[in-house]
């Protein structure tokens, strides 16, 4: 009914303009151009905070009150009110740098992932749904990780809704894997501990063998390692010895970190490469001869090295302030599994498929 009324009025107005000598075509174009310029100006005037709010609304279906955090030279940071661990950063030119938020699944109010998450959980884990959803977007990556209430099942999904990995706590591993796990634990503890490692997680990736991760913990030691099912190849080993020396405040923590950083900077690349070859062989029976090594350049990765060799998987190692290595991870198939519970990352431009249970 409204359309029947509006359209004749618009027609009459244009006709009246024509009779009065106005160039209605030019007038209409001018109006459209002004309207377009107004919209463009409004878009240009939108603040980074407004853009962040729009992005959160797109992802979650919700409108949040944001608090501005640190404003650096290249980016402005925000977080949702009363939420401590948000990562929301926009560049000075107004473009999104990175966003990482965690939300309860039940609090999603639509958004770009909710429907696909529901469908995927019903497919992979019938009768279950996620409790938590971690959504990440940046210039490098778009996707989400969802996990259920007990944190023992996680699904990794890209923006296009394709699932490229899941991990969960399995009931048990094949007998051959259990035998291998006992040998690995003994090797990583210099024969002092021959049993007690618990099966922690199983990683399932598209078209790749399953990977089983084991963990062993005491008051003085944390050990974790991961074994590929079909090959029984050790893909990750980490031995962390606890020194029992806690810190009471941030200043004390910062002092200890600065001292550690100073010691790390004294280590030469030749020393680290020599130690890496020796320790990788001992811990994982992994031969790093012929690999090139590069050290981390930032404060958060200065105790890490990446080893590369043409035709071989890259290897990441973590070293101590004395130059010895306590951790190695093999990035087989160009797919990186973060064995500390963050993400499974596929190679660039890989076509990933839905994983079926």
Range with top average pLDDT, 20-34, 38-52, 118-132, 146-160: 118-132
- Closest of 142, 144, 156, 141 to residue 201, by C-alpha: 156
CA distance 181 to 57: 46
Number of Cβ within 10 Å of residue 108's Cβ equals 21
Residues 6+ away with beta carbon under 8 Å from 51: 90, 94, 96
Residue 247 or residue 205, greater confidence = 205
- What is the structure's pLDDT at 108? 93
Q: By CB neighbour count within 10 A (0-12 exposed, 13-18 middle, 19+ buried), where does 249 fall? A: exposed
- What pLDDT band is residue 21 in, cutting at 50, 70 and 90? very low
Q: What phi, psi does 23 have (nearest 5°)?
A: -85, 95
pLDDT digits (tens, 9 = 90+) for 274-291: 999 999 999 999 999 999
| Reduced DSSP (H G I as helix, E B as strand, rest coil) percent helix, strand, coil of the chain, to 5 | 30, 30, 35
Query: Facing residues of 73 across strands?
Result: none
CA distance 167 to 341: 9
Flag whether the pTM goes above 0.85. Answer: no
pLDDT digits (tens, 9 = 90+) for 114-140: 998 998 898 888 888 888 898 888 776
The answer to whether 158 and 145 have CB atoms below 8 angstroms apart is no
Q: Is the pLDDT of residue 170 over 50?
A: yes
- What is the structure's pLDDT at 277? 96
- What pLDDT band is residue 30 in, cutting at 50, 70 and 90? very low
Least confidently predicted of 6-15, 28-37, 78-87, 179-188: 6-15
Residue 277 or residue 256, greater confidence = 277
- What is the structure's pLDDT at 11? 25
- What is the structure's pLDDT at 341? 57
Residue 344 or residue 303, greater confidence = 303
Residues 6+ away with beta carbon under 8 Å from 247: 253, 256
Query: In the chain, what percentage of residues exceed pLDDT 90?
Result: 38
Average pLDDT, the chain: 79
- What is the structure's pLDDT at 187? 94
Q: Within 13 Å of residue 329, how many CA atoms lie on the same side as its CB?
A: 17
Q: What phi, psi does 183 have (nearest 5°)?
A: -65, -40
Which token pair is 37?
Answer: 């310029």
pLDDT digits (tens, 9 = 90+) for 288-334: 999 999 988 777 788 999 999 999 999 999 999 899 999 999 998 87
Q: What phi, psi does 49 have (nearest 5°)?
A: -65, -40
């Amino acid at each position: 009914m409204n359309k029947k009324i509006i359209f004749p009025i618009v027609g009459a107005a244009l006709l009246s303009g024509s009779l009065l000598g106005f160039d209605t075509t030019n007038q209409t174009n001018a109006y459209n151009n002004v309207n377009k310029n107004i919209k463009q100006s409004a878009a240009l005037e939108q603040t980074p905070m407004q853009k962040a709010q729009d992005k959160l609304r797109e992802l979650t279906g919700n409108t949040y009150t944001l608090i501005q955090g640190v404003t650096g030279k290249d980016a402005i940071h925000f977080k949702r009110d009363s939420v401590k661990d948000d990562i929301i950063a926009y560049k000075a030119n107004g473009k999104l740098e990175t966003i990482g938020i965690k939300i309860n699944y039940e609090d999603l109010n639509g958004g770009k992932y909710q429907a696909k998450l529901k469908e995927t959980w019903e497919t992979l884990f019938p009768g279950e749904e996620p409790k938590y959803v971690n959504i990440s977007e940046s210039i490098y990556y778009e996707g989400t990780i969802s996990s259920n209430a007990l944190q023992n099942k996680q699904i990794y999904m890209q923006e296009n809704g394709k699932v490229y990995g899941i991990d969960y706590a399995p009931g048990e591993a094949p007998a051959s894997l259990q035998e291998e796990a006992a040998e690995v634990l003994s090797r990583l503890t210099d024969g002092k501990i021959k049993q007690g490692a618990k099966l922690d997680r199983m990683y399932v990736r598209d078209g790749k063998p399953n990977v089983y991760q084991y963990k062993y913990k005491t008051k003085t030691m944390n050990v974790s390692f991961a074994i590929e099912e079909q090959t029984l190849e050790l893909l990750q080993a980490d031995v962390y010895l606890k020194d029992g020396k806690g810190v009471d405040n941030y200043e004390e923590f910062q002092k200890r970190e600065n001292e550690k950083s100073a010691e790390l900077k004294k280590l030469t690349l030749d020393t680290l490469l020599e130690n890496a070859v020796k320790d990788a062989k001992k811990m994982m029976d992994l031969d790093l001869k012929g690999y090139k090594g590069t050290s981390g350049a930032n404060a958060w990765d200065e105790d890490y090295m990446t080893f590369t060799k043409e035709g071989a998987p890259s290897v990441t190692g973590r070293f101590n302030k004395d130059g010895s290595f306590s951790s190695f991870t093999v990035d087989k198939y160009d797919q990186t599994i973060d064995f500390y519970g963050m993400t499974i990352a596929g190679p660039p431009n890989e076509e990933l498929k839905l994983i079926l249970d």
